[in-house]
A and B are shown apart, each in its own frame.
Chain A
Amino acid sequence: MNNGFLEEKKHKREIQVRGFLRTFFSIGINFWNRIWRGNAPDFPLFIFASVTSALMGLPIIYVIWRSAFAGKDRWVRLLDTRIPTLLWSTLSLGVIVTIFALIIGVSLAWLVQRCNIPGRKAMQWLLALPLVIPPYVGAVTYIIILGPRGWIRDWFGSSPFNIYSFWGAAFVLTMFTYPYVFLITSAALKKMNRSFEEAARAQGLTSYEILWKVNLPLLRPAIGAGAILIFLYVLSDFGAIAMLRYNTFTSAIYYQMGSYDNLSATVLSMVLILVTLIVLWIEARTRKKQKYYQTTKSYKKPQLYQLGFWKVPVLLYMLAVFFLSVVLPITVLIYWSKLGIEAGALDQRFWAYGWNSIKVSGLAALACMVLALPIVYLKSRYKSYFTIFIDKLSYSGYALPGVIIALGMIFIFNQYIPWLYNTPTLLAIAYVIRFLPQSMQSADSSLNLISPSIDEAARSLGFAPLKVLFKVIIPLITPGVLAGGALVFVSAIKELPATLLLRPPGFDTLAVRIWVETSESVYHLAAPAALLIILVSIVPLKWMLSKY
């Protein structure tokens, strides 16, 4: 009797709970569907992307947390005195470098992919080579050549222009960042179907008009992607900028750190994050309504333009860029390496450093290829506020100075995830946070050329959404993903500030070796390590370009 009463009570409660859960879930599902506008993605994919973006958001959380404790006075003081001038010097440099790098990168990509240049095949990867030269190494070589006491002065009596200036910094950064645009644009040009151009020609458009009305608009996503990588790179660069005695937000952050003022540094970082958001917003805004898809079934190789009279000037232009961005710096490096090797720079430890570099950067590159895909896919196929948010969040690490990322990771991992702390894996995670956007941009610009109708076709044939991703989409965008991975590898192997702070004690990489010597300006001992970084990076670069 008593028992039965209890049972009944229990039963009643169960019904109540069930009812509650049902309403709860239906509200949840309703809300969920509203977010995705009735087109919700696969749950595993969604979880995967969310966890990735949470990881990417770590530095931002750190910066917000710290700068919140900076106090009103510090904010006011910095806003009054520092931020306006820094904003101007940083943005002007970023804009100029982006413009010039776009001009050089897009023009070279078009010439190499679409014109009958002698040695096209070789040019394809030779012109991408500056990517593997760390910009701080590039800056040093140009100081040695163009500096007030450089080689030019020794030979001609005076240096034609002051390398320690706005234009000096702009020149060096342009020469060593244009390959981002060159590579991404080349990849897009290769995928571009000739039938568009043929249709345009059939309509009576001239080659010039086809370039402006067909090629360039189709390249718009790739150009935008490259522009973002370059602009944000300029925001975050420290090495080259400090050597050329220019001042940006990032260098100011470093200088504040140098006098142990972590708080002012995070306040400046906060501003940097805002700038990044604005830049991303502008880029998204300007391509909002445009969508370009390509069909791959009817793909035909593009025809090469005959340059005719223009062949010589065009060749000269390409050779000039190649000479300034590759031949000169490498010549200087070889010269210094010779001095360094004579002074005994190569010992057994040196090769161990090289192996460490390859290991950590390789791990980061692999991780980026895997992690970028879900985010990019969600963003492109399941547009919602959530996907926009995780996409934007992923950029925070790319624009922030490496040292801030490192401190953020120390702050979080040392306290809460100590088993990863002081391991090479943590270093790889830092590289992922810093460079994931590179692989995202690369994958994104490939994915943007594939129409969602292909997904729909596959779905209508009974493929599950995840199967569509694996069987249809991934094979189509593999070149883009691999290119992204290679980009990450060459960036990670050059990375310095985060490496310096996050590596386990006793774990060294080539970039650290370069720093140890250049921090005391002993260039001849730094040169062999720089040369080895370049040699090691050439392998993935070539492999990646051959996979296209």
Chain B
Amino acid sequence: MFKKKKITIMMLIAMLVVAFTACSTDTTQPQDQGDVAPNETKELVVYSTRNETFVQPLLDKFESETGIKVLALHGGDAVINKIKEEGRNVQADIVISNDIGALEHLRLEGFLQGYEPNGIEAIEERYIAEDMSWFALSARARVFMYNKDLITEEEMPKSILDLADEKWKGEFAITRGGNGSMIAHISALRNEWGDDKTLEWLDGVKENAGAITQGHGDVRRAVGAGEFKFGLVNNYYYHQQLREPNDNNVGVIYLDQAENEMGTVVNAAGVGFVKGAPNELNGQRFLDWILQPENQREFSYASLEVPINPAIEAVGEAAKISDFKVQSMPLRELGKVWADTRNLIERSGLDLEIR
């Protein structure tokens, strides 16, 4: 008993030491903020979840055209968690995300601020946040990528429903259910089918999938190498695989395109404006700048994605957004159903499943 007491006392002392160091520096903080006159900075801090090679050239271009120094942090999905953790002393101005669900999640949690940039009219309303705190620039369709050595286009399944069909047991690869693109996709399916049918579908997919991987890169590689006949990916993974030095004999199927079918589910990459951005004015300039047509083009070209704005031409291999049928749920609805979708996926057990 007495031993326990001592240990707790020790823990308290340790915590006090921490609290002390923490408090002693606390006083300097307001001064810091006072030094920075709003809107008169020469910097822009951009956090991005996207692959650096897609984003950095664009940021370099902004820097050379405006003279504003861009400090970029390319950190994968975890930058969203970082923004949430930095809420009390905001560091980032702009967040670029692969996944609209993430931006809408940030908005709903109060980490973004609205701004109406010049040229926003070019983007269709369903791809803009209610308060204009984020907008999408490039879309990626959810597609089946298949290995042409193993299966022909005619033999390939054409609907997302087919994944739950026993016929394809062990033949395909998907990412785990907790993946952002997957959550967005399943949200759209719920919107189309309702929860019961979606859950049934999830159970079937979990049963049938030959591999469940951490990310889409693994699916792309596994299909390219012929481990599986096909896999569910975003369309630009198909374009990437085409550019690999080997294992590149792959094809693509846009899903559910027949007359009475729902169309393929589309997710998008976009830009959000962080609330309390330390370089607010530069953030606004960036948002205006990126909506200039040539920069919109740059944004989706580097990643081989489809521009949201149909006036902008797509890269060679990619279908234009007006060329295929898109499932009807607006992306801006995503944040509201996000938590429910997550719970549904969790119920199916697909969220952490990896094999």
* Partner-B contacts on A (CB < 8 A): 35, 50-51, 53-54, 57-58, 61, 81-82, 86, 147-149, 164, 242-243, 245-247, 251-252, 255-262, 339, 343, 385-386, 389-390, 393, 403, 406-407, 410-412, 414-419, 421-422, 497, 500-501, 503-506, 515-516, 518-522, 524
Contact = CB atoms under 8 A, between A and B. Distances in A.
A26 B62 CA distance: 67
B354 A516 contact: no
Nearest to B44: A505
Contacts of B71: 504-506
Contacts of B10: 385-386, 389
Given A50-B13, A255-B176, A521-B217, A416 B352 contact: no
Interface in B1-38: 3, 6-7, 10-11, 13-15, 17-18, 21-23, 25-26, 28-29, 32
Contacts of B22: 412, 415-417
Interface of B: 3, 6-7, 10-11, 13-15, 17-18, 21-23, 25-26, 28-29, 32, 45-47, 51-53, 71-82, 84-86, 88-89, 91, 102, 105, 176, 178-180, 183, 211-215, 217-218, 220-222, 225-227, 240, 245, 342, 346, 349, 351-355
Contacts of A82: 352
> Most A CB atoms within 10 A — which of B25, B72, B353, B354?
B354
Given A258-B178, A260-B81, A339-B245, 6 more contacts: A54-B17, A57-B14, A86-B352, A245-B213, A386-B10, A414-B85
Given A257-B81, A260-B80, A416 B23 contact: yes
B293 to A, nearest CB: 27
Contact of B18 (A57, A389, A411, A421): A57
Contact of A418 (B13, B18, B89, B353): B89
B183 A259 contact: yes
Contacts of B45: 505
A516 B52 contact: yes
Nearest to A420: B25
B95 to A, nearest CB: 12
Given A50-B14, A147-B227, A252-B352, A519 B217 contact: yes
Nearest to A62: B85
Contact of B26 (A258, A411, A416): A416
Contacts of A390: 14
Contacts of A343: 245
13 contacts: A81-B346, A148-B225, A149-B227, A245-B355, A257-B81, A260-B84, A385-B3, A417-B22, A418-B89, A419-B28, A500-B76, A501-B82, A505-B71
A261 B352 contact: no
Contacts of A506: 71-73
Given A258-B179, A260-B84, A389-B7, A521 B220 contact: yes
Interface of B is mostly: helix
Nearest to B32: A418
A260 B105 contact: yes
Nearest to B80: A260
A19 B174 CA distance: 75
A54 B352 contact: no
Given A259-B183, A500-B75, A500-B78, A417 B25 contact: yes
A345 to B, nearest CB: 11
B352 A255 contact: yes
A141 to B, nearest CB: 14
A58 B46 CA distance: 27
Given A247-B354, A407-B81, A417 B21 contact: yes
Contact of B218 (A389, A415, A501, A521): A521
Contact of A407 (B82, B183, B354): B82
Given A149-B225, A414-B89, A258 B180 contact: yes
> Most B CB atoms within 10 A — which of A58, A164, A259, A389?
A259
A256 B342 CA distance: 10
Contacts of B25: 416-419
A389 B18 CA distance: 16
Nearest to B105: A260
B78 A410 contact: no
Nearest to A78: B346
B214 A35 contact: no
Given A339-B245, A516-B53, A505 B15 contact: no
A362 B71 CA distance: 25
Contacts of B217: 518-522
A415 B88 contact: yes
Nearest to A35: B6
A261 B81 CA distance: 9
B89 A242 contact: no
> Most A CB atoms within 10 A — which of B14, B21, B353?
B14
A297 B23 CA distance: 50
Nearest to B183: A259
Contacts of B80: 260
B46 A501 contact: no
B352 A521 contact: no
A50 B11 CA distance: 11
B207 to A, nearest CB: 17
Contacts of B79: 501
B218 A516 contact: no
Contacts of A416: 21-23, 25-26
B295 to A, nearest CB: 20
A390 B17 CA distance: 13
B167 to A, nearest CB: 21
